[in-house]
Chain A
Amino acid sequence: VFGKAIHAIARISDEFWFDPIEKGLALRSVNSSRSAYACVFFSSMFFQHYCWTAVSQPCQKEKQLSLPCKLIIKSVLPVFRGVNVLERNVEKCSIYTNINDHHITFQLLCKHGVVKTYNLTFQECDPLQAVFAKHMCPNILKVHSRLLADIMIHFPTSQEEVTLLVTPMKVCFKSYTEEDTDFSKTMLTEIHLNPDEFDYFQVGVDSEVTFCLKELRGLLAFSEATSAPVSIHFDVSGRPVAFSIEDMVLEANFILATLSDIEKETASQQPPCSPQRQESDTAAVTARRPPNTESAKPASPLAKRDIESIPRVTKKGRTGMEGTAMVEAEDHAMLEEQAAAASHSVLHAVSCFSQSCIFQFHSLFFGAVSCSEKGAISHTFQSLATSSDTEEDFGNMQSSPV
């Protein structure tokens, strides 16, 4: 599933943001014209073991608690190439980050003792976040991924843009035509559907939105892997359309710009560079030497490690962090916990969340985490006014994190 997510994001652009935060790992991407944005968020429960700590800052004013980094997709794709093959061969996949060296290591432990290690450099960069108020969209369609794939299959692979037309009575996907389309050369396809076919159908306003199909295909492929339903949130033409998949452990959002009737040009949304989170760093980060989170891992032999222990692990990790704001302030050492590594040697490919690889994620950002809030940390986003070259501006709405 992870591999498929990467493939899906790869359809959008050449590089993606690798963004570990406490709740989980977010992979984001935006295409060069900023007209398509994808974000796949894997909650920590998706992973067998997820360990994340933030970079400590000597001054504690504004913590950049996550270190988003950018990777070139092309270098990551080969790691996850041949997803079907992966499912059969790979028993475990570990991802380590190493900020000093600017490396992320993907390690695939396969059958028969084969270990493939990929070291990839990343660039630090600004966080990427798209602001889009899904819940404000008047039109929502929810449909099983199979259906959406079945629909899109009718369009030729060369079809760039597709128009979705809804009225309360019907839904229609058709190939996009402009005024100067040469009808004598192009084949047009239209698909009419009954609202009954959708799991959830809400049309607040009759609208006709046109979006790029190519970028969506990535999501379609991914959705087949997760088998969760796909929700489509949209508004009138010109406003973006969001395709999202929500599951217990992951959430994927693909936001595509739509053609606006008036301007006849692709309106793009702005992904404002908002800080990922604002930690209320009230908890004083004292230099307490906490027990290493690594030791919070179960020492039990791995053979016994099963799904039940996973949430325990993460929770333990968190309480470990909560209780004792762990600071290894001086320690920016990017050591792999050798003990940890050793303990991940053999795993059985068991996952109730994902059928394919099991992932372990160590983040080697050591530092202060103020986790005075239990459970989910609420993100407050401030959309900074970025240099927006677009007509769309959702910035000021309080929107759901994407």
Chain B
Amino acid sequence: MRFRAKIVDLACLNHFSRVINTIAKLAKTCTLRLTVSKLYFILSDKVANGGVSMWCELCQGNFFDEFQIEGVAAEHNEIYLELVPENLSRALKTAQSAKAVKIKLSNKHCPCLRVAVELPSLSSSSRIVTHDIPVGVIPRRLWNDFREPSVTDFDVSIYLPVLKTMKSVVERMKNLSNSIVIEANLRGEMNLKIETDLVSITTHFKDLGNPPWASEDGGQSSTQGGDLEGMAEARIDIKKLQQLLAGQQVNPTKALCNIVNKKIVHFILLHEDVSLQYFIPALA
């Protein structure tokens, strides 16, 4: 099992760092799945996470100049690693002006990802900073745990409002309550509601627009056809929502969410070369 990759372009490096920073804010530990063409950061919906799951997909060609992988076996040319994204984020944080960054899977004392950053320096030879990030190798029999979750029959799909605005709204609400209700309809309206003993607050967003597939596709529920005004709602943990919003460092090209009434909210944030899906289940 071998893996080595190299980033030389600063812009790619910064982009990659930003992605890692976002992931680091969302999960303490996550699974990194490496295939020949893509990298995936996966968080599976275990109880420990509070039922939240995450699926983030990157196309390696957009970031790495060199990328070589040799998986567990020939037919399964993939590697699954468990790591703490915060470590990776920290390692890359000081690499902002690097000449090159090399990532390699190595096994010195224990399996780890060795990130070698070559920094420019005043002298002839450059400075090399090496970070050894411990990882856990996930055996093949457990790979099934990490499949892409899919939510097909959602009730409402709607574009999200400007994330900054949404973030500041949610942040203020976070102080007042533990859970927040997201409701939306197919008319492009979304409400964020919280309710406490003393006060209830609702923020209304209008004219958000609904993605095209919301009105096609047979897998729709009964709100199809008639009830455009009907709201699908879900009550979710406000902290998780706030985490998701706070972690976004760049405005995504597309941001939308799918709501399954009272079950789960599925956020999809798309950037040019990164897609992030985040599932927050509804509270009981």
Residues in chain A within 8 A of chain B (CB atoms): 153-154, 156, 183-194, 196-197
Given contacts A156-B90, A196-B123, A197-B122, contact A184 B110 (CB under 8 A): yes
B109 contacts A183, CB within 8 Å?
yes
- Nearest residue (CB) in B for A181 is B109
Measured in the bound complex, the distance between the Cα atoms of B182 and A251 in whole Å is 62
Confirm or deny: B150 has a beta carbon within 8 angstroms of a beta carbon on chain A: no
Query: Total interface residues on B, using CB and 8 Å?
Result: 22
- Residues in A with CB closer than 8 Å to B123 are 194, 196-197
Measured in the bound complex, the distance between the Cα atoms of B61 and A68 in whole Å is 66
Measured in the bound complex, the distance between the Cα atoms of B114 and A217 in whole Å is 26
Q: Flag the segment in B70-78, B125-133, B201-209, B264-272 that touches A.
A: B125-133
- Nearest residue (CB) in B for A173 is B129
- Least CB distance, B64 to chain A, in whole angstroms: 21
B129 contacts A187, CB within 8 Å?
no
Measured in the bound complex, the distance between the Cα atoms of B129 and A187 in whole Å is 13
**Which of B108, B123, B129 gathers most chain A CB within 10 Å?**
B129
A183 contacts B134, CB within 8 Å?
yes
A188 contacts B131, CB within 8 Å?
yes
Given contacts A194-B121, A197-B121, A197-B122, contact A187 B90 (CB under 8 A): yes
Q: Which of B87, B112, B127, B130 contacts A193 (CB 8 A)?
A: B127
Q: Give B209-268 interface residues, CB cut-off 8 Å to A.
A: none
A187 contacts B122, CB within 8 Å?
no
Measured in the bound complex, the distance between the Cα atoms of B209 and A80 in whole Å is 54
What are 10 A-to-B residue pairs whose CB atoms are below 8 Å? A154-B94, A156-B90, A183-B108, A183-B110, A186-B134, A187-B132, A189-B91, A191-B127, A191-B128, A194-B123
- Least CB distance, A197 to chain B, in whole angstroms: 5
- Residues in B with CB closer than 8 Å to A192 are 127-130
A187 contacts B128, CB within 8 Å?
no
- Residues in B with CB closer than 8 Å to A184 are 110, 134, 136
Residues in chain B within 8 A of chain A (CB atoms): 87, 90-91, 94, 108-110, 112, 121-125, 127-134, 136
Given contacts A153-B94, A194-B121, A197-B122, contact A187 B87 (CB under 8 A): yes
Measured in the bound complex, the distance between the Cα atoms of B94 and A153 in whole Å is 7
B127 contacts A189, CB within 8 Å?
no
Measured in the bound complex, the distance between the Cα atoms of B108 and A184 in whole Å is 11
- Residues in B with CB closer than 8 Å to A189 are 91, 129-132
Measured in the bound complex, the distance between the Cα atoms of B90 and A189 in whole Å is 11
A196 contacts B130, CB within 8 Å?
no
- Nearest residue (CB) in B for A192 is B128
B122 contacts A190, CB within 8 Å?
no
A194 contacts B94, CB within 8 Å?
no
Measured in the bound complex, the distance between the Cα atoms of B121 and A288 in whole Å is 63
Given contacts A154-B94, A156-B90, contact A187 B125 (CB under 8 A): no
- Nearest residue (CB) in A for B112 is A183
- Residues in B with CB closer than 8 Å to A156 are 90
- Least CB distance, A322 to chain B, in whole angstroms: 47
Measured in the bound complex, the distance between the Cα atoms of B29 and A185 in whole Å is 12
Measured in the bound complex, the distance between the Cα atoms of B90 and A190 in whole Å is 14
Measured in the bound complex, the distance between the Cα atoms of B125 and A194 in whole Å is 7
- Least CB distance, A153 to chain B, in whole angstroms: 6
- Least CB distance, A144 to chain B, in whole angstroms: 9
A187 contacts B127, CB within 8 Å?
no
- Nearest residue (CB) in B for A185 is B134
Measured in the bound complex, the distance between the Cα atoms of B122 and A153 in whole Å is 17
- Residues in B with CB closer than 8 Å to A153 are 94
Measured in the bound complex, the distance between the Cα atoms of B108 and A188 in whole Å is 12
Shortest beta-carbon contacts, A-B, top 5: A196-B123, A183-B109, A188-B132, A190-B130, A184-B110
Measured in the bound complex, the distance between the Cα atoms of B121 and A196 in whole Å is 10
Q: A184-B134, A189-B129 are in contact. List 7 more A-B contacts (CB 8 A).
A: A154-B129, A183-B132, A184-B110, A185-B134, A187-B134, A190-B129, A194-B127
- Residues in A with CB closer than 8 Å to B94 are 153-154
- Nearest residue (CB) in A for B133 is A187
Given contacts A194-B123, A196-B124, A196-B125, contact A187 B131 (CB under 8 A): yes
- Least CB distance, A317 to chain B, in whole angstroms: 44
- Least CB distance, B124 to chain A, in whole angstroms: 6
B134 contacts A194, CB within 8 Å?
no
- Residues in A with CB closer than 8 Å to B136 are 184
Measured in the bound complex, the distance between the Cα atoms of B87 and A9 in whole Å is 30
Given contacts A183-B109, A184-B136, A187-B133, contact A197 B127 (CB under 8 A): yes
- Least CB distance, B91 to chain A, in whole angstroms: 7
- Residues in A with CB closer than 8 Å to B130 are 189-192
**Which of A187, A193, A194 gathers most chain B CB within 10 Å?**
A187
Given contacts A183-B110, A184-B110, A187-B90, contact A194 B131 (CB under 8 A): no
B91 contacts A187, CB within 8 Å?
yes
Measured in the bound complex, the distance between the Cα atoms of B131 and A191 in whole Å is 9
- Least CB distance, A77 to chain B, in whole angstroms: 29
Measured in the bound complex, the distance between the Cα atoms of B132 and A187 in whole Å is 5
B122 contacts A191, CB within 8 Å?
no
- Residues in A with CB closer than 8 Å to B108 are 183
- Least CB distance, B212 to chain A, in whole angstroms: 45
- Nearest residue (CB) in A for B108 is A183
**Which of A154, A186, A192, A196 gathers most chain B CB within 10 Å?**
A154
